[in-house]
Amino acid sequence: MAKKVLVIGEVREGELRNVSFEAVAAGRTVANGGEVIGVLLGENVSGLSSELAQYGVDRVVVVEHAELKSYTTDAYQQALLQVFDVESPEGVILGHTSIGKDVAPRLAMKLSAGLISDAVSVELDGDDAVFTRPIYSGKAFEKKKIKEGIVFATIRPNNITAIEPDPSKTVDVSNLSVDIKDLRTTIKDVVRKATGGVDLSEANVIVAGGRGVKSKEGFAPLQELADLLGGAVGASRGACDADYCDYGLQIGQTGKVVTPDLYIAIGISGAIQHLAGMSNSKVIVAINKDPEAPIFEVADYGIVGDLFEIVPLLTEELRNVLVSN
Ligand code: FAD
């Protein structure tokens, strides 16, 4: 049976995050031939509608309000509940991002809906959308479906392939005005850390360093390698605890969960808490001087040796290959 599915677009610094396009693809599967509606919340976000259209939504609902400029739980929850009232969706898909993780359970609770969080794929079994999600820190996967009510899910970035964009596609865009009141918090200002570059949670290539990198300065060659590959730098908690880098780069159970196409772990032992955040990466390369390091158990390719010798050599070789192509 065809369903009406809402997909919440996530806007960061005036741009749609890639996970929004992946959510549209998931929404199309759940809709099973029905309507997929993109929802944009924020201030001055209507210009992003055409991009959502290109990635496969059938129409877009824009909700603009000064209180939606920066994310707050209260304001987003109030706005989205009003969108749900108007649209009566049978499915809702969000990214499993900081925002999705925060707001989805609250919305599901308000709607008395089930919630499947952190899905890495979705397929149809007859009329039912069946989601696959990792469990036990990525050691196993379970398949889940919602038996009744709204099909509500968050999807892990970088796992579901977005639909190839069609630049010629245009769709109806409507504005919905919402009433936002009695907020417990408002954002006065957002001060961003100047990390720049590629967003770690959506990067296709991650070059991650551990305590073996030994210093802040030791991360510079890793950044060079990441830049060369168009990727982002990440870190183990060991490296963050040692103050070699910011906790915003931490990958693992208590850091970010990532699924890049290529994960290069450098001077990282591979503790279970680190593996929880990266073991589902498509290709894992480990560089470690200890041949017994547990990281080699999950690595597709391993280099045993001193990272301070290997990383510059690898960077040089890759530069030669990339430049000659
Ligand atoms: P180490 O374990 O010290 O490993 C350093 C590695 O570098 C070693 O394998 C060594 O052989 C190698 N090395 C050293 N010098 C060189 C060299 N010159 N060349 C090549 N290799 C070299 N950790 C996370 O990463 N993310 C989390 O989210 C996280 N959450 C946690 C939550 C809890 C509740 C707890 C208890 C722990 C958590 N941890 C987490 C910590 C985790 O248990 C490990 O302590 C941490 O991952 C170790 O970081 P590391 O691999 O960089 O350091």
Instruction: Name the residue with tokens 């400029």.
Output: 69
pLDDT digits (tens, 9 = 90+) for 231-285: 999 999 999 999 999 999 999 999 999 999 999 999 999 999 999 999 999 999 9
| Integer Cα distance of 98 and 106 in angstroms | 13
**How far apart are the CA of 212 and the centre of ligand 1, in A?**
8
Domain 200-324 belongs to what architecture? 3-Layer(aba) Sandwich (3.40)
Ligand 1 atom closest to 272 (CA)? 43
**How far apart are the CA of 250 and the centre of ligand 1, in A?**
11
The one-character DSSP state at 138 is T
**How far apart are the CA of 274 and the centre of ligand 1, in A?**
7
Q: For ligand 1, is residue 154 a contact (CB within 6 Å)?
A: no
Name the closest-CA residue to atom 35, ligand 1.
273
pLDDT digits (tens, 9 = 90+) for 123-147: 999 999 999 999 988 889 999 999 9
Instruction: Report whether pLDDT(196) > 70.
Output: no
pLDDT digits (tens, 9 = 90+) for 209-234: 999 999 999 999 999 999 999 999 99
**How far apart are the CA of 207 and the centre of ligand 1, in A?**
15
Instruction: Report whether pLDDT(325) > 80.
Output: no
**How far apart are the CA of 236 and the centre of ligand 1, in A?**
6
Q: Is the pTM of this model over 0.85?
A: yes
Computed over every residue of the chain, the mean pLDDT equals 95
% of the chain exceeding 90 in pLDDT:
91
- According to the model, what pLDDT value does residue 61 have? 98
Name the closest-CA residue to atom 38, ligand 1.
273
Under CATH, to which class is 5-175 assigned? alpha beta
- According to the model, what pLDDT value does residue 323 have? 80
| Integer Cα distance of 6 and 254 in angstroms | 30
Q: Write down the H helix ranges in the chain.
A: 18-31, 49-54, 73-87, 98-110, 220-228, 237-241, 272-278, 295-298, 307-324
pLDDT digits (tens, 9 = 90+) for 63-115: 999 999 999 999 999 999 999 999 999 999 999 999 999 999 999 999 999 99
Instruction: Report whether pLDDT(208) > 90.
Output: yes
Name the closest-CA residue to atom 45, ligand 1.
238
Instruction: Report whether pLDDT(177) > 70.
Output: yes
Q: For ligand 1, is residue 277 a contact (CB within 6 Å)?
A: yes
**How far apart are the CA of 270 and the centre of ligand 1, in A?**
6
**How far apart are the CA of 18 and the centre of ligand 1, in A?**
30
% of the chain exceeding 70 in pLDDT:
99
Q: For ligand 1, is residue 242 a contact (CB within 6 Å)?
A: no
| Integer Cα distance of 226 and 206 in angstroms | 7
Q: Write down the H helix ranges in 111-231.
A: 220-228
In degrees to the nearest 10, what's the CA dihedral of 22, 223, 292, 295?
-10
Domains of the chain: which residue ranges? 5-175, 200-324
Q: For ligand 1, is residue 302 a contact (CB within 6 Å)?
A: no
Place 194 in a pLDDT band, splitting at 50, 70 and 90.
Answer: low
| Integer Cα distance of 250 and 208 in angstroms | 9
- According to the model, what pLDDT value does residue 192 have? 75
Instruction: Name the residue with tokens 């509500």.
Output: 152
| Integer Cα distance of 66 and 248 in angstroms | 28
Name the closest-CA residue to atom 13, ligand 1.
212
Instruction: Report whether pLDDT(195) > 70.
Output: no
Task: Dihedral sign for Cα 288, 290, 292, 294, please.
Answer: negative
Average confidence (pLDDT) over 36-40: 98
Place 163 in a pLDDT band, splitting at 50, 70 and 90.
Answer: very high
**Cα-based distances in Å from 293 to 129, 252, 267, 271:** 40, 17, 10, 9
CA proximity to 46, closest of 5, 91, 14: 14
Q: Do 5-175 and 200-324 have matching folds?
A: yes
Assigned token pair, 293:
């390091």
From 206, 251, 254, 303, mutation site for ligand 1 pocket: most ligand atoms within 8 A of C-beta: 254
Name the closest-CA residue to atom 39, ligand 1.
273
